[in-house]
Amino acid sequence: MTDSTLIAKAKAGDRKAMGAVIAENETHLRCISNRYRGERDDLRQEARMAAIYAVKDYDPDGPYQFNTILGNRVRWWLRDGQRRRRIIPLSYEDDMEPACDASTLSDLIDSESRALFWACVPQLPDRERRVVLMRAEGMTFVEIGRLLGVTFQRAAQIEASAVESLRKLIRAGGIHA
């Protein structure tokens, strides 16, 4: 765990302290960045950049520990990098099957049947539709769970149910009024 005095020095602009904070958390940064596909050195550098912003955002009197802020900032930064530079999460497949065989929401959204996918979303039950839309905006299961008043595990289960429903709708040809 990173020392709060070291973080305070880094936050005040001490470059050595900032380097020490990043060095102490290098394993954590590597673990998160390894979940994404791309040039490893680039991903790790992106994670280090996010760590600098995490130090700046960290409030020692706040409710969260530094490692929580750091992890959230790095994941957000890398997801944002996906959008900007198309860094691809490891859950994607190189040889994607047709959309009806997609195993994740991301696979369905990015599939060749994208228009059909979005045409099917309104047919989902309210809760599943809301989760799909929030995930498409890049929200995490924790954030969705808070909004829906459920655990992050339940939010993930709702997404899995939505994916199965969407797969069935797409296989059936889509829109049913």
Q: Number of structural domains, the chain? A: 2
Residue type, 31: C
CATH number at residue 26: 1.10.1740.10
Structural contact between residues 53 and 40, judged by C-beta atoms closer than 8 angstroms: no
Give the predicted TM-score (pTM) of the model: 0.47
What confidence score (pLDDT) does residue 112 get? 53
* 70 shares its domain with 137: no
Quote the pLDDT of residue 95. 34
pLDDT recorded at residue 97: 35
Same domain, 10 and 85: yes
The answer as to whether 21 is a domain residue is yes
Average pLDDT, consecutive stretches of 10 residues, N- to C-terminus, the chain (177 residues): 80 90 90 80 85 87 87 84 51 36 55 69 90 84 87 86 84 57
DSSP sequence for 116-127 = HHHHHGGGS-HH
- Domain membership of residue 94 (yes or no) is no
**Containing structural domain, residue 131:** 99-171
Give DSSP secondary structure letters for 116-162: HHHHHGGGS-HHHHHHHHHHHTT--HHHHHHHHTS-HHHHHHHHHHH
